[in-house]
Amino acid sequence: METRMTVNGVLVYPMGEERHEYFTPAFARRTKKRFCQYDYRHMDGELFSCVAPTLAECRRRRDE
């Protein structure tokens, strides 16, 4: 599956940058509940990734 965050299934963005996109999973289509998939690649190359209801929650988890 291609998204804004990947090319041929590989994450493509420079270090120190964050990317996010909202999606509705199949189990939540009736309620239309959306989630945010968040990825952040630190300057040392380490990747942080999470899924939460909001972008603010994702950033809070990253900062912990």
Amino acid residing at 38: Y
Locate 8 and state its tokens: 């041929």
What pLDDT, on a 0 to 100 scale, did the predictor assign at position 56?
Answer: 96
Looking at per-residue pLDDT, the higher value among 37 and 10 belongs to: 37
Q: What is the pLDDT of residue 13?
A: 66
pLDDT in tens, 24-63: 988 877 888 899 999 998 888 788 999 999 999 999 999 9
Please give the C-alpha separations between residue 32 and each of 22, 26, 27, 49, in angstroms, as whole numbers.
Answer: 12, 9, 9, 23
**Pick the residue with more confidence: 45 or 13?**
45
> What is the pLDDT at residue 2?
45
pLDDT the model gives residue 11:
60
Phi, psi dihedral angles at 39 (to 5 degrees): -130, 140
| Residues with Cβ within 8 Å of residue 10, at least 6 apart in sequence | none
